[in-house]
Structure 1
């Protein structure tokens, strides 16, 4: 199975979804999650978690998707937990290779970085100066690559 979600994630971002929603919702065909639920669940992680400019929402979305595909249930060993955290750190490292950081405020170099809750209006100017669509693409490409390298086992849970 060939995964290719980067264009879809970028379309969703340009269409008005936040960065986390764009990546997370682009992968509903893989996670089996309902589109509306996916958008609602990931809505809090945009702009570095509620516009606090912490961990980039695209990375949070990657980590949530990986949790669905490879995550741990209620019972697991110390080794399994270590393996899962290693997986998350690998994805973060891949993102850092491209952009030097996973921190939203550091990614937005040169832009006004505030922690007010009011999002910026999505105008033509916004898309000209906002680098976020690049991060959306990067996260989706990294995740596609990771999934291709590590095909998930079928999950028994219904989302």
Structure 2
């Protein structure tokens, strides 16, 4: 099956949703999660987890989608747990290959960004200088490709 969630993820970001929400909500059709619940669940992960500038929210969004689709729930089988962690590390590495890091503060290096809880206003200037839409696009593309290569419910690990 061909997946294409990139434009929806980008549109969500340009409408004001945070980076994690943009990726996670875009895949609601695949996860089966209600979009309003998906928005609330992923709201804490934006700007590197609550604007702490840690793991990029787009990666958190990818990882949550992968957990819903491929996770085993209570993973008492160490092999299944290892296979899932391997999957998450693969997704992170694919993002890292394109942007040299998955850490928000490093992705925004050179910009005057802070870790204060108050988000920046989404103005035309914000979107001109902020590279985050590029990261949203990357995460959605990586996850679409992974889903195509490893169909949900398929025989992948």
Q: TM-score, normalised by structure 1?
A: 0.95
Deviations 1:92-148 (A, max 9, x none): 000001000000000002111311000000001000000000000000000000000
SS in 2 for 1:117: coil
Within-5 A mapping of 1:109-128:
109-128=109-128
Give unmatched runs, 5+ long, in structure 2: none
Which residues of 2 match residues 1-159 of structure 1 at below 5 A?
A: 1-153=1-153
**Alpha-carbon distance in 1 for matches of 2:54, 2:130:** 17
Deviates more, 1:139-148 or 1:109-118: 109-118
Question: After the TM superposition, which of the residue ranges 1-10 and 69-78 deviates more from structure 2?
Answer: 69-78
Q: 1:123 & 1:73 partners in 2: Cα distance? A: 40
CA distance in 2, matches of 1:70, 1:31: 10
Deviations 1:27-58 (A, max 9, x none): 00100000000000000000000000000000
Counterpart of 1:157 in structure 2 is: none
Residues 19 and 58 in structure 1, CA contact (< 8 A), matched pair in contact too: yes
- Which aligned runs of 4 or more in structure 1 are off by greater than 2 angstroms? none
Shift of 1:73: 1.4
SS of the residue corresponding to residue 74 of structure 1 reads coil
Task: Give distance in 1, aligned partners of 2:49 and 2:73.
Answer: 24
CA RMSD of aligned residues (A): 0.9
Distance 2:74 2:99 in 1: 34
Aligned length: 154
Q: Distance in 1 between matches of 2:25 and 2:109?
A: 26
